Structure 1
Amino acid sequence: MARRVAVRAPTAASLPDSFRIPSTTFSLIKALGKLSRSSLLDLVIQWLDDKDVKAFPPYLGPRSVVNFVAEEEGLSAYPPAASVEELRAIYEDLRDRKGGKREVIDRILEGDWRHGISLRQLAMVDMRYIEDHAVGLRWTALQLVPLKGDSAQSQSGGDASTPFPRFHASTFLRSIQHEISPLVKAHYYMYRSKTLPLTFVRIFVVDSPYQQPRQSPYIYTDSSRIIYLAFPDSTPYIYSSQLSSPSPSGAKTATATSSNALTMDTRTLRRLVKDAIPKALSRPQQRYTLKTTSLTAKSLHTLLSLRGPGRTNSANGAFTVFADAVIEGCPLDPRLPQSIVQENYNGHAGSIPGYAEGGKENIPLPQPQPQQQSPGKSEADIHISAIGRTRRPPFQQSGGGLTDTAAMQLAKKRKLVVSSRFGTAGDHRRIPPPCGPPAGLLTKIQKTDKSLPSPSSSQPQPHPQPPPQPAPVPLPALDRLEIHLHDPPIPSNRQGGDKGDDDDDDDDDDEEDDDDNESYKTRPATLSLTFFGSDVIAGVRQLAELGVVDPARMPSWMTGEDGVSVASVKGGRRRR
């Protein structure tokens, strides 16, 4: 009887969840090794759950219905379990005792899932890594805006409903598959975050599995082919991320040795998916496009604070005192400016030596204690040795005496200007608000609950237990700030001409700036600056407090008011 020939017919369907990657693929060790031991064991126990074990069937013994080869039982270091319950007990025992992470990985790849890891299992590993590491990836905020023709038509119709579409995960996956299926093959996985109001969509793209020669299995673990999309609730923004880590060496070798002219670059694959996102979210007579927001950050909490559904999207910088409810009222209240004073929102006003609460000069500055001169050391030697250990305020002399009060007034004025420009942004000395109802509200609800029986006076009153405090929300922090200057570093000085000619020249310059508003994007920047750190805005604030940067002349995007991480400056103004 002739041997059957496998027929591989092209189809527009996506890659199935049950598509298995051989367990001998070396890059799977690196993919599973990203998780900690406890997270990996929790994920394996989830695979062995009664409702998920059919989707991730393990390699069991001869009593199971799973294919079993008797010859492999004696060759493997991990004999197969007889049932799922026995295998679940094995991993429960591994979770209860201490040990290394590599033994868990070896048991998964060489024992219980020796027949391969499915694409869905690999996607669950990646999403668990994002949950455990909040700053593991770099995310870019994109805004979903309607096209001009469609937006004008919706406004003329008088429809009071929101023009933005509602996000349905199943509908979105079906629509984006319809858009990119003629060009590439992809695998989709949706995940709802347990800690953030986000819905993640993981998209793995590949050219086509019907190529000859067949692609290497290392390509299914290539991080450059994975696109993560995060859809926050009730906001027209989308967060996109691509892993910036290098691909495994095996994937690089496989890509380099591939000589098929029909293969596409990974950048082209990502561009195809990015172009298909607004099309998948569009509806008949309502078309949308993606617009950049000049905001890129590692922390998802920062993106939710600056481009999220909360009230902090347009309340950054100086307006954070109103968004954080540090002071009463709002910027639109018809009150005198003197009603909003600095001590209401500057929690570190007392850090200025010589000033008490309210900025009063009613506390004398501490006088330095005279140092005892040891034999063999002069006064100059003592002064030089103390320079590296003490940090004196800028208005103190090297000997410890005070200068005139003008320097003190200047330091206080600089503090006031910094507080008025930054608000609470970049101030890590303030306590972040908790993510939940206040403790007073919980106590009030317990007191007013009539369903609880009132204890008699004869019975001993137990000591009331305080309600558990919710975990504080991390403060928004930009880890990177890029500045691209498109103006010459040394401006050209005009020579000759009167004042009227200068005014005419200024008007002409304004017109030229308006004409070149879009042309600057194609020109290279004359000077580029990049600031790195855990919180760049906090670092800029410290520079302003020390007098290195003038806070009065500082642009708003440096104080965090604009909420951007990339600024292209031309003509002294930030171009969008």
Structure 2
Amino acid sequence: MAPISVPIASRLPSSLRIAPTNAIVTRVLNRLSRPALLSLALDWLDEGNQSLTAPYLRARGDDADDEDEDGDFYPPAASLEALREHYTDLQNRKGSKRDVLDRILEGDWRHGLSLYQLAMADLQHMYDHPTSQKWTAFQIVPLKAEGDDASAVTAVVDKASLVVPRFHPSSFLRNLQAQILPDIKVHYNFDRHKHLPLLLLRIFILDSPYNTSLAASALPADVDSRAGATAAPRLTNVESSRTIYIAFPDASPFVYLSSAQSSSPAGERAPGSGVAGSSSTSGAAAAASLRSLVVEAIPKALSQAHERYALKPTNLATRNLTELLQRRGAGRTNTAGGGWGIYADEKTTIESPLSTLLPESVASRLEGKNGKGADETPSISSSTKRAASPGKTRDQQQAKRRKQIAAARFGLSAKMGDGCGVERIDIVMQDPFPGGRRFDRAVDRGEPMAVDEGPVPTPADRRRSKGGRRSQIDAALARDEEEAEEEEARVREQARKTAGQEPDEEAETGVDDGESTWRPRVALTFHGPHVFAGLRQLVEAGIIDGEKMPGWMTGEEGVTVGAVRHGRIRGHKGSGIP
């Protein structure tokens, strides 16, 4: 009698195997190169992984199936040692990736690949392509009960606390599993990054209430009542799965969350469905809901009794994990970006950041030279100008001056090939337009305006009016404004309770005079493999004035999405400190 599968709340076991004919298996393995496939197969054949990655081997003393194996294109091996020798021999000679892939799926692992093997293949692809995932940095902030009552339901961020939650993988997974909905099943896999000081958690989610082989089986076929025919089986639960990564840097109060990846390719029409691309549309919505679910579950999994935490966005998103560790890691560069990075360099000793001249060792490193004299030390102050060298033309002197300014503004950062590149920066200018006061006085005098701006569109109207890539600026601004309003209301309420006064209606309904100034919406978007390195090259070329350039253009603010008001980035201002 076949076992009965009952929906339970436990997670998926790593030993659960998926048929090699499943589309998700071939899709995951097809992304790997031939050397990566051979290296992965040798890892599967390791003695320590045999409980989860055992291959299909010929039984010892079984001579009855010799005639059947004669017609097998990939006859099973007799031992693990023979398979290791075979794959090692494949590494030493040339061949095609298709031969290796067919050998794995139709020969040695014909009985299926376990979820642990799929996780290893996914992680191998991420190691081979470091920019395949888009990461967003979140800060773990402690919470405290609002008011004197420690048992209060509402809590606010404790800005004075320096407590960092203790992270234990098994306890974190147990608490995280308690936050997962019971109608889906999740497989977790921890892995230590090969090159960076962080721990990776891969979360693989299936839309199934079962944790047995039924979770990887096809859904029932659809029956067309009009034609009386049965359509093809619908997509399996595995093909409609979602994958998301969480990175935990060492000794850092930050976590990095990747975008949810759908296993179904974009635009693919599901069998049995009548609308092409419907699966991709629903998959994008499901991926977004999955990501929000994980964001809400992480602080709950980290919290303990009398220690509650929350995740706070840092407005830093990139595909480069090295840049995230540089800006939101355990090092000293979290609050010392751009030219201030020289004071966070452990190899140099600088007495005070108020010094106008950089030390000789730092200046030589900024210029990329060794053993040069002190006359080439870049000066931050414009008052310390030196006499021009007699053998140099004016253009050479200006080019040298621009390089010195770029070295002073950017420091040791923003160099091509440093591995800390940011691909996209979205900035909205909220400063008043120069001369806006004159426009306001002209309106007061009754003079007609030259341009009729019309009603100011809302962020929702802008999203409906234009297509293309959806910007994160509107969401970030709405989030910051909501947090600022809540904080202001909370402070005002506490002050009122302390003074024993009634609410001040005039103060609550007052209008800020500064908001009446004309503020045109100007959005700046920078694209490229290394945005700040490109800005540094523009400064060295004289296209951008390095002396008047704002600090957020040098990368010292450490954000990729933000709004500029009064010359400063609103929100975290790059410090990472709430």
* TM-score (ref. length: structure 1): 0.69
> How far apart, in 2, do the equivalents of 1:30 and 1:360 lie?
65
Q: Which residue matches 1:59?
A: 56
SS in 1 for 2:413: coil
Q: Confirm or deny that 1:362 pairs with 2:389.
A: yes
Aligned-pair distance for 1:136? 2.4
Of 95, 107, 111 in structure 2, the residue corresponding to residue 111 of structure 1 is: 107
Alignment check: 8 A CA contact 1:342 1:416 kept: no
Q: Is the 8 A contact 1:480 1:565 kept in 2?
A: yes
Report 1:436-455 matches (<5 A): none
Given candidates 537, 556, 577, the residue that maps to 1:561 is 556
Contact residue 64 and residue 82 of structure 1 kept, 8 A? no
1:480 equivalent to 2:424? Answer: yes
Which residue matches 1:34?
A: 31
Alignment identity in percent? 41
Q: Alpha-carbon deviation of 1:36? A: 2.3
Q: Distance in 2 between matches of 1:216 and 1:136?
A: 29
- The amino acid of 1:220's aligned partner reads V
Q: CA deviation at 1:124?
A: 0.6
| 8 Å Cα contact 2:260-2:287 kept in structure 1 | no
Which segments of 5 or more consecutive residues in structure 2 lack a partner in the other structure? 152-157, 222-232, 378-385, 443-476, 486-518, 572-578
Provide the C-alpha distance between the structure 2 equivalents of 1:169 and 1:298, rounded to a whole number of angstroms. 25
Q: What is the CA distance between 1:126 and its match in structure 2?
A: 0.9
Separation (CA, whole Å) in 2 of partners of 1:298 and 1:255: 36
In 1: Cα distance, 2:525 partner to 2:314 partner: 18
Aligned position for 1:124? 120
CA contact (8 A) 1:172 1:280 kept: yes
- The separation in 2 between residues aligned to 1:273 and 1:256, in whole angstroms, is 29
Question: What secondary structure, in the 3-state scheme, does the structure 1 residue paired with 2:238 have?
Answer: helix
Displacement after TM superposition at 1:90 (Å): 1.6
Counterpart in the other structure of 1:279: 300
More deviation, 189-198/481-490: 481-490
Deviations 1:224-270 (CA, angstroms, capped at 9, x unpaired): 7101011011001001112668833797516957999x998232223
Letter in structure 2 aligned against 1:253: A
Does residue 424 (structure 1) correspond to residue 431 (structure 2)? The answer is: no
Q: Distance in 2 between matches of 1:15 and 1:69?
A: 35
Structure 1 residue aligned with 2:257, among 237, 240, 244?
A: 240
Give me the whole-angstrom Cα distance separating, in 1, the residues matched to 2:566 and 2:320: 32
Counterpart of 2:563, as a letter, is S
**Cα drift, residue 169 of structure 1:** 0.9
- 1:213 has 2:208 as partner: no
**CA distance, structure 2, for counterparts of residue 573 and residue 487 of structure 1:** 10
In 1, the alpha carbon distance for the partners of 2:263 and 2:328 equals 29
1:69-100 C-alpha deviation (Å, 9 max, x unpaired):
88974554211112222222221221222212
2:428, 2:564 within 8 Å by CA — same for their partners in 1?
Answer: yes
Does structure 2 retain, via aligned residues, the 8 Å contact 1:218–1:251?
Answer: no
Counterpart-to-counterpart distance in 1, 2:368 and 2:251: 38
The alignment yields a C-alpha RMSD, in angstroms, of: 4.2
For 1:213, give the aligned amino acid: P
1:146 and 2:134 are equivalent in the alignment: no
Task: Write the mapping of 1:295-310 to structure 2, written as runs, cut at 5 A.
Answer: 295-310=316-331
What does 1:45-56 align with in structure 2 at a 5 Å threshold? Answer: 45-56=42-53
Name which of 7, 17, 36 aligns with 1:10: 7
Task: Specify whether residues 83 and 428 from structure 1 end up closer, same or farther in structure 2 by C-alpha distance, changes over 3 A only.
Answer: closer
Given the superposition, is the C-alpha separation of residues 187 and 6 from structure 1 closer, same or farther in structure 2, using an over 3 Å criterion? same
| Shift in CA distance, 495/481, structure 1 to aligned 2, threshold 3 Å | closer
Q: Give, in whole Å, the separation in 2 of the partners of 1:123 and 1:357.
A: 53
Mapping of residues 467-546 of structure 1, within 5 Å: 474-486=418-430, 492-494=436-438, 518=481, 526-546=521-541
Distance 1:16 1:550, change over 3 A: same
Distance 1:6 1:149, change over 3 A: same
- Residue-by-residue CA offset, 1:297-317 (whole Å, 9 max, x unaligned): 212111111111111111111
User: Per the alignment, in what secondary structure is the counterpart of residue 50 of structure 2?
Assistant: coil
Aligned residues: 462
CA 103–237 in structure 1, closer or farther in 2 if over 3 Å, else same: same
Q: 1:217: how far off?
A: 6.5
Distance 2:479 2:27 in 1: 49
Q: CA separation in 1, counterparts of 2:40 and 2:3?
A: 35
> Residues of 2 paired with 1:521 and 1:539: CA distance?
34
Larger Rg: 1
Answering whether residue 367 of structure 2 is matched by residue 348 of structure 1, we say: yes
Comparing 335-344 and 178-187, the one that deviates more: 335-344
Q: What whole-Å deviation, never above 9, does each CA across 1:78-132 have from its counterpart, x for those lacking one?
A: 1111222222222122122221211111111011111111111000111122223
